[in-house]
């Protein structure tokens, strides 16, 4: 099934095969490319070994096309938001944590929210994102 992850700002397609390609910047302002897995709940990632990111570090994610910071502002600021388009063209939102090593992501569709990762339980209220 062909699905795409899309930059909310420029609508550029961010995925190549099984990976979402983004620019990442650590707290020391070092930049690099990061590959995130497209499968929801798979938190494996790849980046160049010269880029040092410690567990618990808050990193910034940018679109490789338009360089927009993909952070998502709600009460919770340590999140990133991408658009997702399934094989039928239906769009939804994918939100994940900016904290390196924190396994927490959400797939928000019209009628339901699916959460993934051991840290996702942080939000007890399933409607938090609507507020």
Identity of the residue, 43 or 62, whose beta carbon is nearer to Zn ion in the bound complex: 62
Q: Is 9 in the site for Zn ion (CB under 5 A)?
A: yes
DSSP 130: G
Selected binder of Zn ion within 22, 34, 53, 63 (CB under 5 A): 63
How many residues of this chain bind Zn ion (CB under 5 A)? 7
Q: Are 59 and 53 in contact (CB under 8 A)?
A: yes
Angle (CA) 118 121 126, round 5°: 135
Residues with Cβ within 8 Å of 96's Cβ and at least 6 positions away in sequence, in order, are: 36, 79, 80, 104, 105, 106
Stretch that binds Zn ion, among 8-16, 54-62, 76-84, 87-95 (CB under 5 A): 8-16
Q: Is 24 in the site for Zn ion (CB under 5 A)?
A: no
Q: Is 69 in the site for Zn ion (CB under 5 A)?
A: no
Q: Are 56 and 37 in contact (CB under 8 A)?
A: no
Selected binder of Zn ion within 16, 18, 31, 66 (CB under 5 A): 66
Torsion sign over Cα 15, 51, 26, 103? positive
Q: Is 32 in the site for Zn ion (CB under 5 A)?
A: no
Q: Is 65 in the site for Zn ion (CB under 5 A)?
A: yes
Q: Is 80 in the site for Zn ion (CB under 5 A)?
A: no
Binding site for Zn ion (CB under 5 A): 7, 9-10, 12, 63, 65-66
């Amino acid at each position: 099934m062909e699905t795409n992850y899309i930059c909310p700002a420029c609508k550029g397609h961010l995925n190549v095969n099984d990976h979402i390609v983004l620019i990442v910047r650590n707290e020391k302002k070092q930049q690099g490319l990061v590959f995130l897995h497209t499968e929801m709940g798979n938190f494996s990632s790849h980046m160049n070994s010269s880029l040092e990111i410690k567990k618990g570090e808050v990193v910034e994610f940018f679109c490789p096309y338009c360089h927009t910071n993909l952070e998502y502002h709600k009460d919770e600021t340590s999140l990133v938001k991408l658009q997702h388009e399934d094989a039928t063209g239906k769009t939804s939102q994918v939100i994940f944590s900016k904290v390196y090593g924190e396994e927490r992501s959400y797939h928000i569709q019209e009628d339901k929210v699916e959460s993934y990762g051991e840290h996702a339980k942080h939000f007890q209220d399933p409607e938090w994102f609507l507020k």
